[in-house]
Amino acid sequence: MRILPAAAALMLLAGCSATPVAVSPSPTTVAPPAVSPTAAAAPPVAPGGSPTVIASGLQTPWSMVRLRSGSTLISERDPGVIVELTATGSVREVGTVADAVHEGEGGLLGLAYVRARGWLFAYVTTATDNRIVRYELEGNPGSYSLGESTVILSGLAKAGNHNGGRIKIGPDGLLYATVGDAGNPDLAQDLTSNNGKILRMELDGSVPRDNPLPGCLIYSLGHRNPQGLAWDADGQLWAAEFGQDTWDEFNRIVPGGNYGWPIVEGAAGDPAFMDPAYQWATDDASPSGLAFVNGTFLLAALRGQRLWAVYPGETTTATEYYTGTYGRLRDVIPGPEGTAWVLTSNTDGRGSPVSGDDRLLQIDLVPLG
């Protein structure tokens, strides 16, 4: 049967399945941050010089969020622990995420934080599913702890691989989540499943009124295992995605867009599907974390063991840095002004750990050209 293109798929509303729990009757959206004209006009950048080690001895780190307090929270996938990197450089345990179960690529994955509410979100693999849990972050810098928890979304299919797991707060104040196909490619085109999708939700897990499929969390479909999310200076969402044997993808995400998996992998020129803005051979990338800094996307590559700088435009280009120098790279976020922070992932069972792994690296960013 021919898979419908995105525009036609919007008519199949009855099949869409969203399973939020603990939904409030009147969801509230946090006001989006203003886009800085200075940031929007900033020239593109490139990594420069040798990175500085900010923290070492981390256990399978997966995601990180920097807080205005000067602390950074880091998820450790296998032990299911959130740690705090303090402003003075010490690392301490914030808490263990209940029900997190490590199996293959699953465990404690993405983190996101809403400062106005003091809410910390975690994407968690349990014994039965993948889910998103919201915590009250309690305490002060140097003594943060996990308070009351609320499951805001459950029932996402889990597997030993393809769990997705990246969560971020968008410029619109809503929560976005990447969900893999859990090793079942057909789920990516199935509108009764939230797997193989990018989801968009209110902070209580309910469906935003302006989602592309009314009453449905699905924001885009046809994804294999997306793990990178970032917005450019115009508020446009982009995502990075693991391919299977041929092409990894860097995609401009259009609401309701169908990105083709498993019908196509990489650019197909088929009007039913969205072609990637850029693609890599799978040996060169296996893209995970994605960040946007000064007109530049930075992409952490696992199998490719390098940091990619991606420059979108009429013709998107990409340049590699630190190839093979620091091993597998899992996440990247904007660091203190003029820098990026990158997590290595050499203790995840697929890397070759060296002394100090895994590490958090700070990389200087210099104007391009």
Task: Check which CATH number belongs to the domain holding 110 and give it.
Answer: 2.120.10.30
Instruction: Give the Cα separation of 331 and 128 in Å (integer).
Output: 26
Reply yes or no on whether the pLDDT at 316 is more than 60.
yes
Chain segment 207-222, per-residue pLDDT in tens:
999 999 999 999 999 9
pLDDT of residue 369: 74
Is residue 198 in a domain?
yes
- Average pLDDT (20-42) is 38
Chain segment 42-56, per-residue pLDDT in tens:
789 999 999 999 999
Is residue 352 in a domain?
no
Looking at the structure of the chain, the number of domains it has is 1
pLDDT of residue 204: 98
> Average pLDDT over the chain, rounded to whole?
91
Is residue 169 in a domain?
yes
Chain segment 221-237, per-residue pLDDT in tens:
999 999 999 999 999 99
Instruction: Give the Cα separation of 283 and 261 in Å (integer).
Output: 19
pTM over 0.95, yes/no = no
Reply yes or no on whether the pLDDT at 92 is more than 50.
yes
Is residue 69 in a domain?
yes
Q: Are 262 and 186 in contact (CB under 8 A)?
A: yes
Is residue 357 in a domain?
no
List the one residue out of 21, 268, 248 whose CA is nearest residue 153. 21
Chain segment 161-220, per-residue pLDDT in tens:
999 999 999 999 999 999 999 999 999 999 999 999 999 999 999 999 999 999 999 999
Rounded percentage of the chain residues whose pLDDT exceeds 70: 89
Is residue 123 in a domain?
yes
Is residue 346 in a domain?
no
pLDDT of residue 41: 60
| Domain span including residue 272 | 58-319
Residues 6+ apart with CB under 8 A from 96: 79, 80, 81, 82
Reply yes or no on whether the pLDDT at 8 is more than 60.
no
91 - beta bridge partners?
85
List the one residue out of 288, 210, 217 whose CA is nearest residue 249. 288
Is residue 238 in a domain?
yes
Reply yes or no on whether the pLDDT at 76 is more than 90.
yes
Chain segment 123-150, per-residue pLDDT in tens:
999 999 999 999 999 999 999 999 999 9
